[in-house]
A and B are shown apart, each in its own frame.
Chain A
Amino acid sequence: MTGLDPSLLRELQADPTDPEAVWEELLRRGWSDGLPVIPPTPERVAQMLGGRDPSQVHVTLGPEGNEATLARIAANAVMAGCRPEYLPALLVALDLVGRNGGMAFANSPAAPMLVFNGPVRGELDINCSYEMLSMTSRANATLGRAVRLVLANVGGAKVGRLFDVQHGMPGRASMVFGEFEEESPWEPHSVAAGLAPGRSAVTLFLATGSMPVNYHQVPQRASELLLILSRCLDYVRGNRIGPTPDTGGPVVVLSPKHARAFSKDGWTKEQLEAALTDAVNQHWDIELEAHREKLELINRGLDPADPRMGQPKPEGPATVLVAGGLAGWHSMIVPTLAWGAPVTAPID
């Protein structure tokens, strides 16, 4: 007895001892993301639920307002390869997606990037270090994949159903890591976001990619590193929908060595975030005829008494995180989607 509503069960014409046949059938039904999945048998789903009420609606998702019940979430978590102990973290992440992740459904390549803080990183073995974004560790790979499967299977974020994302990006499969708090000279992001130190938490960013930033010079000069980071932010400055920014406040993921370089030079995280935010908003000088025409089109609709619209700058400040392997002098810039501010919630 699994306690699952029989109406949730589907009988597939496939030999349960033949994983390829089962997977082919799941692909045919459109349940999979293109990679092999663990079949969500009633027993596995019940184990994932751990006694929770399968019919409870945890969150509604997408413009269709579809109900993500715990049974559906658990089934997708099983398919993604999650362990049952991941479920509490997954539920908080999905809550954030439901609250602030509407743009994750939009026709843009945004990925729901999840950054974990606190003890949950160790409890779930969430990678904060080498290859943290390469899906080489189970928690990082499967937690993000579970979110994507729920977005697709429950929220309807599939081509031909809601919005058609033009290219997509690999990060939409999973973009999960932990902040390397033990190697950071500064307070964890969750604390900066208002949570108590030592509390487990997850933050949702709407990431649109990842760009490596390399500064190998020894000795490490913080001023030069800041200059390189600032120049790499040209992408954020330049990517626009007409005159308006397509990218929001960038996430700058410093390697532990780069973070140390800044800290050694007396930089606080707040100072660095302010400097990087300034860097985005400086040199806002890309003037294209297309931008002028678009502004004219927009301003034409305004009443003469209203202020004219100028070139808006990206909203939201830069966020600095510390993560990645200990050895290298590489950092990473993660652009984020405009209109999608990061949100943080505790995991209890």
Chain B
Amino acid sequence: MRMTTMLVDPTAKAASVPVATMVERPATLDGLVLGLREFWAGYDRYTAVLERLVRERFSLRDVERVDGTHPRTGSVLARWEQFGRDVDVAVVGFGACGGCAPWAAMDAMELEARGVPTVVLVSPELEGVARRTSDAKGYPLRYVLLTQYLDDLDEVGIEQLAKGTVDEIVDSLIRPLA
């Protein structure tokens, strides 16, 4: 005979949060301002190639960059907010450490809340913590994975990485929301 034991559940499920509204994607990047939020050693080499490749595909109106600096107060905060107003779509990276990955996700959520369609670039090792950060706030952000060891790549490697990811990044910015 199988017996049972009655116990008090010691656990709590994650508090449910309402699903946040993501910004509708544009049909094209033509005529838009692409924003690049940068923070990580060597990441600017990647975004330089990425910008070139995106410009080859679309007639961007402009490209703006902002450093992912902290703390965001005073003039740094003002510049970040200006970035949010100026750009039409954004690529936020690079989340490759335990602090940088959730921070990138938080920046992406802030941009989405400001009406900027955004994609987050993280390393595979940090994808989980980044996704849990956005899940906790109800944002179904779009992520693209880059290698953790970006800074080890030479120029050829950076070029290959950018060519291998540009379509997915663009797709994340223009594919309609489900």
Contacting chain A: which of B52-60, B68-76, B116-124? B68-76
Asked whether B4 lies within 8 Å of A67 as measured between CB atoms, the reply is no
What secondary structure prevails in chain B residues at the interface with A? loop
CB distance from B152 to the nearest CB of A (A): 14
Bound-state Cα–Cα, A25 to B11, Å: 15
Contacting chain B: which of A110-118, A157-165, A256-264? A157-165
CB distance from B163 to the nearest CB of A (A): 26
- Among B7, B66, B136, which residue has its beta carbon within 8 angstroms of that of A41? B7
Asked whether A301 lies within 8 Å of B6 as measured between CB atoms, the reply is no
Asked whether A40 lies within 8 Å of B3 as measured between CB atoms, the reply is no
Bound-state Cα–Cα, A149 to B9, Å: 12
Residues on B with C-beta less than 8 A from A163 are 98, 129, 132
Asked whether B67 lies within 8 Å of A301 as measured between CB atoms, the reply is yes
Q: Does A348 contact B (CB under 8 A)?
A: no
- Among A11, A26, A293, which residue has its beta carbon within 8 angstroms of that of B4? A11
Quick one: given A161-B132, A164-B129, A306-B75, are A42 and B14 in contact (CB under 8 Å)?
no
For B128-154 the 0/1 string (1 means CB < 8 A from A) is 110010001000000000000000000
Bound-state Cα–Cα, A76 to B10, Å: 6
Asked whether A160 lies within 8 Å of B10 as measured between CB atoms, the reply is no
Quick one: given A15-B3, A164-B129, A301-B68, are A9 and B15 in contact (CB under 8 Å)?
no
- Among B5, B68, B69, B99, which residue has its beta carbon within 8 angstroms of that of A15? B5
Asked whether A16 lies within 8 Å of B5 as measured between CB atoms, the reply is yes
Residues on B with C-beta less than 8 A from A160 are 128
Quick one: given A300-B67, A301-B76, A302-B69, are A64 and B14 in contact (CB under 8 Å)?
yes
Q: Does A10 contact B (CB under 8 A)?
A: yes
Chain B residue nearest to A17 in the complex (CB)? B3
Asked whether A10 lies within 8 Å of B76 as measured between CB atoms, the reply is no
Residues on A with C-beta less than 8 A from B129 are 107, 163-164
Q: Does B39 contact A (CB under 8 A)?
A: yes
What are 11 of the A-B contact pairs (CB < 8 Å)?
Answer: A13-B4, A15-B5, A25-B5, A31-B10, A63-B136, A66-B14, A76-B10, A153-B12, A294-B41, A301-B66, A302-B76
Report the 10 A-B pairs with minimum CB-CB distance, sorted nearest first: A301-B69, A301-B67, A75-B10, A107-B98, A303-B75, A75-B8, A16-B5, A66-B12, A15-B3, A64-B14
